[in-house]
Structure 1
Amino acid sequence: MSTIDFRLIRQLWMFLAVAEEQNFGRAAARLSMSQPPLTEQIKVLEHSLGIQLFERSRRGTKLSPGGVAVLPAVRQFAHQVAHLERVVREIAAGQTGVLHIGAITSAMLDTVPPLLKHLKKAYPQLTVFVREIDSVDAISGLESGELDLAFARLDAEAGDATATLPLTEDRLAVALPTGHPLASLSRIRLKSLASEQLVMSARQVSPMYFDMLTSVCRAHGLAPRILHEVRSVTSQIAYVSCGQGVALVPNSMKKLTPGNVVLRPLHEKIMVVTAAAAWSTNRHHPMVEHAVEWLRSQKR
């Protein structure tokens, strides 16, 4: 059985400091050590790896081609070690109630706040960190351990190690400028948008949602003409407000529309998942289990 080489870990930390400072003196100061031992440890690391990491000259220190090649992996390693340290500190402090949540913007407006209110009441000592994410970041965040719970536009086939719970569904509507000819209609057929330029949620942000919308459009005789791809539903509304096209958005977004934008339901009854909870099945977290159970009870 192999053992952890803590000396190598320390040397990689030193390499990262020199690579970022591009100066042995500044790197030594950053590491709270003198320069000669730092220089010696970098030489030992270069010998162990069998490559030159830095090119040294009177003009200063810069990464060699080999150093450039290994730097991304070392940065990723440092990030993972930092995450490990945070988890260990939380466990050592007995903080079983530390929860890291990632959520898309719309979920932060309606789905997440009631959950946080419940959790704070049930667990007054709970520490919750919430950050905005794109749907595409949910799975990777859960797999890496950066997130314990995610709220995004996902379907049931999110991944083998990810469980999902669809939470909110809404009918698809069209956001239009108030002066648009179609704004006078009570319902709008999808094919009526054939000549319109659409503002869509970007595929790179939520591939499943984008593919579903474009598929639905084509199934109802509309070949979407996409003018802008944006990062959130609220951004879609903002672009429509600026006269940059029309947008297919959940009907509930009418509560966020400015005075120069109207929402009209589609004639076709098309329901979309506006938020789903997702969590890793590879890790046990009591707060996640409690949160999911509460979310299920609210859905019932």
Structure 2
Amino acid sequence: MELRHLRYFVAVAEERHFGRAAACLHMAQPPLSQQIRQLESELGLQLLRRTTRRVELTPAGEAYLVRARQIVAAVSSAAGEAQRVAAGLQGRLVIGCVGSATYSLLPQLVRTLREELPDVEVSVQGEMLAPAQVEALLDGRIDLGLLRPPVDEEALSLDVLRADRLIVAVPDAHRLAARKRIRLTELADEDFVIHAGGGRSVMHDTVLARCRAAGFEPCVRHEVAETSTLVTFVAAGLGIAIVPAPVAELLVPGVAYRALTGQASVELAAATRADDEAPHLRRALAVAKILVTPPAKRPSKI
């Protein structure tokens, strides 16, 4: 028995006529009749009662038609699903994201993916520091990471999306809150709130390196894992923080964001497993690249 036998039988059973069924199948009637007889012979029972004017289903044929329709529909559905997966229109995607991008790129990315790829199931793990994302990518818990380089892992592939300027978050009652721009050296005597150290955060090392290059060792009073916690601590007056500019999207009462002089910035990159060629992942990565492109240079359709 082959799948075509089931399709032929369903066509005859629905049309109740070999001639009309043959026309629907774009084949001659004699070969169709022969295929149905082969099917009945293999099953060892009669599925159809033939008369000169029409075809009737036997009780066995009625029961067989129900299952035959299910099988034909399932095969058709499987083929369609496979084609959508191969085209990157269906699948499951888990995105990890550093805190600063959680408040800027991530919402727009997820919204666009749902609009453009509605059959791709997207889930998000926000506020993940870069080392945690690297680990999650390697063990398959996330498929796409939005993180801060550097990443020293050959099994991963990185695409730099943009460079984010560094700014200063200060309590709104702080003396520096009245300034539009702040020099890094003016923070030498301030208490700092920074992301967790010990290799857990790229921003931790970035802030220390910038301060040391400016000629001072920052007085770190608090280390935190989440950007939202960092900003909350600043609002509470526990210190100041150097953060990527997109963090300013996190509007917490009691915090003022001010520009830093100079061109200090940190990169935001998309990280994937180097051997992961899933079509829906490639589509999502392309969407992320388009979203960081200036609006005037974006294509009209993502």
Bin for the TM-score computed over the shorter chain: 0.5 to 0.7
Counterpart code for 1:252:
P
TM-score of the superposition, structure 1-length normalised?
0.63
Secondary structure of 1:211's counterpart equals: helix
1:220 to 214, 219, 229: 214
1:167 to 120, 143, 161: 161
Shift, 1:141, TM fit: 1.1
1:101 to 76, 95, 103: 95
What fraction of aligned residue pairs are identical, expressed as a percent? 30
Instruction: Pick the structure with greater CA Rg.
Output: 2
In 2 relative to 1, CA 249–291 (structure 1 residues): closer, same or farther, beyond 3 Å?
same
In 2 relative to 1, CA 280–198 (structure 1 residues): closer, same or farther, beyond 3 Å?
same
Matched, 1:278 2:260: no
CA offsets per residue over residues 103-143 of structure 1, 9 Å max, x none?
A: 22332332122222222233222212222333211111111
Q: Which residue number in structure 2 is paired with residue 151 of structure 1?
A: 146
Counterpart code for 1:262:
A
Matched, 1:184 2:178: yes
In 2 relative to 1, CA 177–121 (structure 1 residues): closer, same or farther, beyond 3 Å?
closer
| Greater Cα shift, 191-200 or 164-173 | 164-173
Shift, 1:282, TM fit: 2.1
Q: Which residue number in structure 2 is paired with residue 262 of structure 1?
A: 256
Counterpart code for 1:169:
A
Counterpart code for 1:151:
L
TM-score of the superposition, structure 2-length normalised?
0.62
Is the CA contact 2:103–2:246 (under 8 Å) kept in the aligned structure 1? no
Q: Which residue number in structure 2 is paired with residue 123 of structure 1?
A: 117
| Aligned mates of 1:253, 1:112 — CA distance in 2 | 12
Counterpart code for 1:187:
R
Secondary structure of 2:206's counterpart equals: helix
Q: Which residue number in structure 1 is paired with residue 137 of structure 2?
A: 142
CA offsets per residue over residues 77-122 of structure 1, 9 Å max, x none?
A: xxxxxxxxxxxxxxxx867511122222332332122222222233
1:295 to 288, 291, 297: 288
Counterpart code for 1:182:
L
In 2 relative to 1, CA 158–294 (structure 1 residues): closer, same or farther, beyond 3 Å?
farther
Counterpart code for 1:277:
A
| Aligned mates of 2:223, 2:102 — CA distance in 1 | 21
Shift, 1:168, TM fit: 3.6
* Long gaps (5+) in structure 1: 1-92
| Greater Cα shift, 280-289 or 179-188 | 179-188
| Aligned mates of 2:133, 2:125 — CA distance in 1 | 11
Q: Which residue number in structure 2 is paired with residue 203 of structure 1?
A: 197
Give the alignment of 1:14-25 within 5 angstroms.
none
CA offsets per residue over residues 49-91 of structure 1, 9 Å max, x none?
A: xxxxxxxxxxxxxxxxxxxxxxxxxxxxxxxxxxxxxxxxxxx
Is the CA contact 1:139–1:158 (under 8 Å) kept in the aligned structure 2? no
Shift, 1:203, TM fit: 2.1
Shift, 1:206, TM fit: 4.2
| Aligned mates of 1:169, 1:206 — CA distance in 2 | 21
Q: Which residue number in structure 1 is paired with residue 63 of structure 2?
A: none
Is the CA contact 2:169–2:243 (under 8 Å) kept in the aligned structure 1? yes
Q: Once superposed, what is the RMSD of the aligned Cα atoms?
A: 2.4
Q: Which residue number in structure 1 is paired with residue 229 of structure 2?
A: 235
| Aligned mates of 1:177, 1:154 — CA distance in 2 | 29
Is the CA contact 2:170–2:240 (under 8 Å) kept in the aligned structure 1? yes
Secondary structure of 1:164's counterpart equals: strand
Is the CA contact 2:100–2:244 (under 8 Å) kept in the aligned structure 1? no
